[in-house]
Amino acid sequence: MQAQNESIDRSVFTVISPLIQDKGKELHLKKKRAQFVTDHDAVLKQEIKRWTLPAFLESFARLSQAHVFRSPREERVYFGVSQQTVRSQENDPMVGPSGSGTAADAVADPEPAPSPGIPNEPVDAESDPKTDDTAVADSDPEDAKSSFQPQEIILSIKYSQPPLSASLPQRIQRPLLDDFQKAIEQACFDFAERQVPRVLSEKRWESADAVEVTKWRRIIPQSLCAMYKNDSEVTLTGMSNMFHKASQLRNAAVHRERLSVSKLDYMLDGSVVLAGYLRDKDCEDRLRNDKDLVRKYTSEVETDQKKRLKMFKKQVDEKKREFEICLQQMGQQVLEDDARFSHAAYKRLEQELQTSKSARSGRLQDRVGVLCHSRPSLRGYWENMAEINVNILWDSAVWMAAIGLVLSLFLAPIFEIWPS
């Protein structure tokens, strides 16, 4: 009985195992298909992000970086625009949305930008091909072989302003972040002295310089939630996120990291709100001053950016008109050259045909003359042939008559042909 059950189990397993394997393969294929779709969507999103106005502005900055000189106003700071600036420029009819207009068409797809550095560092456009925003136009072999290359027109545009970068220079960003770090650490220490003095005594923290913001992140959020327990907007997650932004600013200040203007503005917003919850008026005022300073620089760059974009568009339009005129002149010249060449070729062909015809007719006449002189005429030839044939026929008739007479003489007695 047990052996019979084992055989039944083996037979059932034999039948079911292929089905299980097929199901496993199907699930594996579904998983791979889902992974492929996810990766494809990620690639599409990445490609879409590349064709945005910040990418165009960054490309424009790299193009202008090829012609840099030291500005007479060295105290003026140039840096990239924030997200608010990008939105205002997208709505500006002078600049237009990304990917449309002449200026956007003239600048090619930007590659990863190098570190912005100090704006007054010169860059050679000929030695550094990455600063050339017409690399897409150079990639076409047909355009490279042509004698008239439109990308040379775009490279001839020069700018008298330093290039814009995506972040503040270190000489401006570092004092701002240091001031922020001191203000937020002092605010956290004062709050701990009022609310959790026991923690300060246990940790032996005597001043704000002894504690980092990252350590306050593990202590203060619980105390803030207990203080604002009647406020539904104050949550542990929200307070932790605010301290996380403050920690990022502190890390950028310590490690000399570059922050984009939009990210810096976003983090300062959260830090100002955090200072308000900590009830430190001095810290809140200092952070607001830092934020106003960043926005002042941003508004200053907005105006300069619009002027430069307007100048860039005007220059591109002028070069485009020159390019169209040059193409029109080239087309007319090509048509005229083609007409002259066609007429000359037709004349040469006609002369060659006439020469060939005359040569062929001359050679034919020479051959006929040689044939006529080397042999008798055709009429004389047939006359001679007729005389020869008549003589042959006459001789044949005489000989046949003689042969018939001889045969009749010899054969008559035998057949009794002659009458008796």
Q: At what angle do helices 170-195 and 236-255 cross, to 10 degrees?
A: 140
Joined tokens for residue 397: 């008739």
Rg (CA), the chain: 51
Q: Which residues touch 274 (CB under 8 Å, ≥6 apart)?
A: 184, 239, 242, 243, 245, 246
What's the CA gap between 128 and 43, in Å, rounded?
28
Long-range contacts of 150-155 (CB under 8 A, 24+ apart): 150/323, 153/319, 153/322, 153/323, 154/63, 154/106, 154/316, 154/319, 155/66, 155/125
User: In a structure prediction context, what are the per-residue pLDDT tens digits for the chain, which is 420 residues long?
Assistant: 555 555 655 555 565 556 566 666 666 666 666 666 566 566 555 655 555 555 555 555 554 444 333 333 333 333 333 333 333 444 444 334 334 343 333 333 333 334 333 333 333 433 343 434 433 334 444 443 444 333 333 333 343 344 444 567 777 788 888 888 888 888 888 888 888 888 888 888 888 888 888 888 888 888 888 788 777 777 778 788 888 888 888 888 888 887 777 777 777 777 888 888 888 888 888 888 888 887 777 777 677 778 888 888 888 888 888 888 888 888 788 778 777 877 777 777 777 777 777 776 666 666 655 555 555 555 565 566 667 777 788 888 888 888 888 777 777 666 665 554
Residue 52: exposure state from Cβ atoms within 10 A (0-12, 13-18, ≥19):
middle
What's the CA gap between 400 and 406, in Å, rounded?
10
54, part of any domain: no
Give the residue from 178, 179, 174, 164 showing the smallest Cα distance to 297.
Answer: 164
394, part of any domain: yes
From residue 303, alpha-carbon distances to 97, 297, 394 in Å are: 17, 10, 129
418, part of any domain: yes
Instruction: Return the bridge partners of 167, or none.
Output: 260
Q: What is the pLDDT of residue 83?
A: 36
CB 56 within 8 A of CB 104: yes
What's the CA gap between 188 and 207, in Å, rounded?
11
Joined tokens for residue 191: 């709050």
Q: Which residues touch 256 (CB under 8 Å, ≥6 apart)?
A: 170, 174
Q: What is the pLDDT of residue 371?
A: 52
Coil/strand/helix, residue 167:
strand
410, part of any domain: yes
Give the residue from 321, 262, 268, 278 showing the smallest Cα distance to 187.
Answer: 278
Q: What is the pLDDT of residue 16?
A: 55
Q: What is the pLDDT of residue 291?
A: 80
143, part of any domain: no
What's the CA gap between 291 and 261, in Å, rounded?
10
Q: What is the pLDDT of residue 253?
A: 80
Indicate the Cα dihedral angle 240, 244, 247, 252, nearest 10°.
-170
Q: What is the pLDDT of residue 134?
A: 39
416, part of any domain: yes
What's the CA gap between 69 and 57, in Å, rounded?
20
Residue range of the domain that includes 403: 380-420
Q: Which helix (H) or strand (E) holds 57?
A: helix 53-64
Angle (nearest 5°) at CA 98 between 94 and 101: 55
292, part of any domain: no
Q: What is the pLDDT of residue 377?
A: 53
Q: What is the pLDDT of residue 207?
A: 85
Coil/strand/helix, residue 260:
strand
Total structural domains in the chain? 1
What's the CA gap between 270 and 275, in Å, rounded?
9
221, part of any domain: no
Angle (nearest 5°) at CA 265 between 225 and 55: 135
Q: Which residues touch 143 (CB under 8 Å, ≥6 apart)?
A: 137, 149, 150, 151
CB 213 within 8 A of CB 241: no
Give the residue from 110, 103, 88 showing the smallest Cα distance to 310.
Answer: 103
